[in-house]
Amino acid sequence: MTYASPGDLLIRSVNGSMGMIEHFGVMVAENLIYHNTRVAGEHLSDRASFAQGAPVRICRFNARARRDTLRRAHLELQRRRPYNLLVNNCEHTASRVVRGQPCSHQLRRAALIVAAIGLLAWLTSDEAD
């Protein structure tokens, strides 16, 4: 994380997920990451606590985008919402801070996979005949 700047998006794999689930946070100061966890909700952590020993990817933004992100982060820090897998997970929080709108592509992808499995099960069941 040597090259991260305040306002950049940080992403790491969740331990035990074999790289299929990622944890998102936004660097808001030199050693402070704003992120959302089941235990603490939206909060600040240092780099080591955020990383939990895993490699961290950095999505760097230009100076204007980082300024906008930091402005939104300042507002979000005053609101600190609790964690909710469906409507306020770590990706929702980071997206709201970085882009101004909450969004979780991981959640959408998981919902599509579950729907596809359900449809496949229905289509291959004896009752579908």
CB contact at 8 A, 3 and 56 = no
pLDDT tens-digit series, residues 79-106 = 999 999 999 999 999 999 999 999 998 8
pTM here is 0.83
Three-state secondary structure of 70-122: HHHHHHHHCCCCCCECCCECHHHHHHHHHHCCCCCHHHHHHHHHHHHHHHHHH
Q: Residues 63-82: what's their mean pLDDT?
A: 96
Q: Is 15 helix (H, G, I), strand (E, B) or coil?
A: coil
Domains of the chain: 9-103 (3.90.1720.10)
**Confidence label for 112 from pLDDT (cuts 50, 70 and 90):** confident
β-sheet bridge partners, residue 10: 25, 58
CB contact at 8 A, 58 and 4 = yes
**Cα 118–Cα 120–Cα 125 angle in degrees, nearest 5:** 95
